[in-house]
Amino acid sequence: MKHILLVFLGGGLGSVLRYIISKALNTSYSNFYFGTFLVNILGCLLIGIILGFSLKDNYLTQNQTLLLATGFCGGFTTFSTFALENQTFLKNGDLINFAIYTISSVVIGIVAISIGIWLSKLV
Annotated binding residue 116: no
74 is in an annotated binding site: yes
- DSSP assignment of the chain equals -HHHHHHHHHHHHHHHHHHHHHHHH--TT-SS-HHHHHHHHHHHHHHHHHHHHHHSTT-S-HHHHIIIIIIIIHHH--HHHHHHHHHHHHHTT-HHHHHHHHHHHHHHHHHHHHHHHHHHHH-
Assess contact for 10 and 71: CB atoms under 8 A: yes
Q: How far apart are CA 103 and CA 123, in angstroms?
A: 31
* Binding residue numbers for Na(+): 74, 77
* Binding residue numbers: 74, 77
